[in-house]
Structure 1
Amino acid sequence: MPLSNSRQTYAVSDHDPHASFIKTPRQLIVVIVLSFVVPIVAIILLVQLVVSHPAADPNAMTDEAIATRLRPVGRVEFGAADAAAGSKGPAAPKSQAASASASPRKPDGKKVYDTTCMVCHATGVAGAPKFGDKAAWAPHLVHGMDALLQSALKGKGAMPPKGGNPSLSDDDVRAAVEFMVSQSK
């Protein structure tokens, strides 16, 4: 019984719903051979991968090896720079004669200014009075040296305490303030 379409007419017997890509006996043989060969080759390659992988080192699980792998990469030591640079252990205490003869370190205001304060006060960043600018320092000098020192120690406005360098002693900060004020009078 022919089916009618506006463009073409088909007979039901012309359409094969079970059509296959395999049209010839040669294609059938190739598909059968490949269906056996491909899985076998895949299995052989997987076995080869597992067998050729080197075994784990038996010494890798010893306590020493585990401790080595878990050891920190680096360490931070706090203390005198000469003690940390010269020895790996704790710093050896100085003899009393050596410490008694050594005079206390006098803070260097210029050095502190160059390493900490200069970052902002050289250019006037965030409203900091510029180094050597008498007009910029005049309103601050009116309050006196103690007020300037307290501002430097505790911070003021955008300036953090001790200029952002907490390792500075109060004497270092005082020396830096005195140095900057002496250059601005």
Structure 2
Amino acid sequence: MSSLIKSIHRKLFTLISIAGFAAVMSSSVSAIGQSPEEIAARIAPVGKVCIAGQECEVSSAAAVAANDGPRSGEAVYNQFCTACHSIGVAGAPKFGNAGDWAPRVAKGFDNLMSNAINGINAMPPRGTCATCSDDEIKGAIEYMTENSK
């Protein structure tokens, strides 16, 4: 009985191996009918590395921010801050909640700016807006504090 089971296992393993090889070959064959341009587009790198001091392309998010001019505090809040500040994720002061904001405002605007730019607790530097200028961060803070009195 044991030799019968071993024989069945070997045959099953062989069949599975052949099926796997056939599947790999069929996917490789489908690439044969593609033009060199189609293949190049399919295997092109997703991104590029930019080294300081070299001529580099501007990332699309940064290009959009640069071309559209500075974003309003409300626009920055709605795009980058609302995910955490609307519901108080990880202790973030909630938008519109004077009790959450009062102790932070009491420490001064410079402290709020420093925390926003450098990060604090679970908040990363610049929140989630790596492309925001200091003025845009300032506008977002002003928008949140003005609407949380």
Residue 126 (structure 1) aligns with: 90
| Residue 123 of structure 1: how far off its partner (Å) | 0.3
Helix, strand or coil: the match of 2:137? Answer: helix
Letter in 2 for 1:144: G
Q: Name which of 51, 58, 66 aligns with 1:79.
A: 58
Residue 73 (structure 2) aligns with: 109
Residue 135 (structure 1) aligns with: 99
Q: Deviations over 1:84-139 (max 9, x none)?
A: 89xxxxxxxxxxxxxxxx9x934300000001100000001100010010011111
Larger radius of gyration: 1
Which runs of no fewer than 5 residues in structure 1 stay unpaired?
Answer: 1-59, 86-101
In the alignment, the residues of structure 1 paired with residue 132 and residue 139 of structure 2 have an alpha-carbon distance, to the nearest angstrom, of: 11
Q: Name which of 109, 112, 129 aligns with 1:148.
A: 112
Which runs of no fewer than 5 residues in structure 2 stay unpaired?
Answer: 1-31, 49-56
When normalised by structure 1's length, the TM-score is: 0.47
Letter in 1 for 2:129: N
State the number of aligned residues.
103
Computed over aligned residues only, the root mean square deviation of the Cα atoms, in angstroms, reads 3.1
Between the two proteins, what is the percent identity of the paired residues? 36
The 1:108–1:127 alpha-carbon spacing in structure 2 relative to 1, beyond 3 Å, is same
In the alignment, the residues of structure 1 paired with residue 148 and residue 108 of structure 2 have an alpha-carbon distance, to the nearest angstrom, of: 14
Helix, strand or coil: the match of 1:161? Answer: coil
Q: Higher helix fraction: Structure 1 or Structure 2?
A: 2
Is the Cα–Cα contact under 8 Å of residues 122 and 130 in structure 1 kept in the other structure?
Answer: yes
In the alignment, the residues of structure 1 paired with residue 79 and residue 128 of structure 2 have an alpha-carbon distance, to the nearest angstrom, of: 11
Runs of 4+ with deviation above 2 angstroms = 67-81, 104-107
**Relative contact order, CA 8 A, sep 6+: which one is greater?**
2
In the alignment, the residues of structure 1 paired with residue 121 and residue 134 of structure 2 have an alpha-carbon distance, to the nearest angstrom, of: 19
Structural mapping, 1:86-105, within 5 Å = 105=69
When normalised by structure 2's length, the TM-score is: 0.58
Residue 158 (structure 1) aligns with: 122
